[in-house]
């Protein structure tokens, strides 16, 4: 049973936005843009993994997951669509998405692999997204000075990531996925995800002409390694995943619930 609701976001994504849309900050804009560039390909893979995993379940177990899988697919499909609209503006700004084709090439290698491998990769990525989401909701003031519609987009996505963070993990376990493989993929995904994020962020800054500006590096240092920095605050929750008894629901999602309650005017539930 699940409460995963698919929501249509009521924001304008037609009007272009500033290159340094994230509060005028070149580094943060470049980093978030990099993540957004990975979403359409990445989230399609998550959808496929979860669908394939669901099909591989014995029929008596499918009933238990049916509504949750539908909710998951609906949420990720909506994220893909919204971020594709966002990314179209990045193209027009002259940024070049190298991450998506690289990811697509790599995913080709997984064709024909057991559904549990796909799910282990998805669950690992979803752990990253859930940590990032929770951190984002907690430190939403980093988005201050951004247009309200863009702030809403990032916080809505964060809230839903936190909501559906257990789906791939639970399917993996229901299919008898082992702890060893879960950890093996988690380590690989960590290296690949961090490497790709870094490469695309640098690529974005280069195209933006801000890579070698002192301000960019200063912002990167405080955003990543400062007291409330992303790396500093995420290491612990990242490491939790290595525990044999880890489950995504053990990590906070209060902020997600609260954001969804407080921002009901920002979306309409679909099919409700």
In whole angstroms, how close is the CB of 212 to Fe ion at the nearest point? Answer: 33
Instruction: Name the residue with the smallest CB distance to Fe ion.
Output: 79
54 to 83: interface string for Fe ion, x by CB under 5 A = ----------------------x--x----
Coil vs helix vs strand at 105? helix
Size of the site for Fe ion (CB under 5 A): 3
Provide the b/e sequence for 117-126 (b: ≥16 CB within 10 Å). Answer: bbbbbbbbbb
Question: Between 136 and 205, whose beta carbon lies closer to Fe ion?
Answer: 136
By beta-carbon proximity to Fe ion, the closer residue of 19 and 74 is 74
Lay out the site mask for Fe ion across 134-173 (x = CB under 5 A, - = otherwise): ---------------------------x------------
Q: What residues numbered 229-258 form the site for Fe ion, per CB under 5 A?
A: none
Taking the C-alpha atoms of residue 216 and residue 221, their distance in angstroms, rounded to an integer, is 9
Specify the 3-state DSSP secondary structure of 13. Answer: coil
Report whether 84 contacts 162 (CB < 8 A): no
Residue closer to Fe ion (CB basis): 76 or 196: 76
Residue 34 or 205 having the CB closest to Fe ion: 34
Q: What own/partner pairs with CB < 8 Å and gap ≥ 24 does 233-239 have?
A: 233/135, 234/131, 234/132, 234/135, 237/131, 237/134, 238/127, 238/128, 238/131, 238/190
The burial of 64, by beta-carbon neighbours within 10 Å (0-12 exposed, 13-18 middle, 19 or more buried), is given as middle
Q: Which is nearer to Fe ion, 117 or 213 (CB)?
A: 117
Q: Which residue has the tokens 């238990």?
A: 64
Shortest distance in whole angstroms from residue 109 CB to Fe ion:
22
Backbone angles phi, psi at 110, to 5 degrees: -90, -5
Tokens read off for 144: 């201050």
Closest to Fe ion by CB, 158 vs 210, is: 158
By rule CB under 5 A, what string of x and - marks binding of each residue 78-107 to Fe ion? -x----------------------------
Task: Write out the residues near Fe ion by the rule CB under 5 A.
Answer: 76, 79, 161
């Amino acid at each position: 049973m699940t409460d995963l609701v698919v929501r249509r976001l009521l924001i304008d994504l037609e009007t272009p936005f500033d290159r340094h849309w994230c509060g005028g900050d070149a580094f943060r804009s470049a980093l978030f843009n990099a993540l957004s560039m990975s979403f359409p390909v990445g989230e399609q893979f998550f959808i496929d993994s979860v669908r394939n995993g669901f099909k591989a379940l014995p029929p008596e177990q499918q009933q238990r997951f049916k509504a949750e899988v539908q909710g998951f697919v609906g949420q990720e499909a909506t994220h893909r669509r919204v971020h594709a609209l966002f990314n179209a503006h990045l193209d027009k700004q002259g940024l070049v998405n190298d991450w998506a084709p690289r990811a697509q090439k790599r995913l080709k290698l997984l064709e024909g692999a057991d559904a549990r491998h796909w799910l282990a990769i998805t669950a690992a990525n979803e752990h990253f997204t859930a940590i990032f989401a929770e951190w984002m909701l907690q430190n939403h003031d980093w988005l201050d000075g951004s247009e309200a519609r863009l702030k809403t987009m990032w916080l809505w996505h964060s809230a839903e990531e936190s909501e559906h963070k257990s789906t791939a993990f639970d399917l993996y376990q229901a299919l008898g996925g082992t702890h060893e493989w879960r950890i093996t993929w988690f380590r690989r995904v960590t290296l690949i995800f961090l490497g790709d994020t870094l490469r695309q962020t640098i690529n974005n800054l280069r195209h933006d002409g801000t890579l070698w500006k002192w301000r960019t590096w200063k912002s990167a240092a405080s955003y990543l390694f400062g007291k409330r920095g992303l790396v500093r605050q995420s290491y612990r929750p990242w490491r939790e995943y290595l525990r044999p008894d880890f489950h995504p629901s053990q990590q906070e999602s209060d902020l997600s619930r609260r954001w969804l309650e407080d921002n009901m005017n920002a979306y309409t539930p679909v099919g409700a």
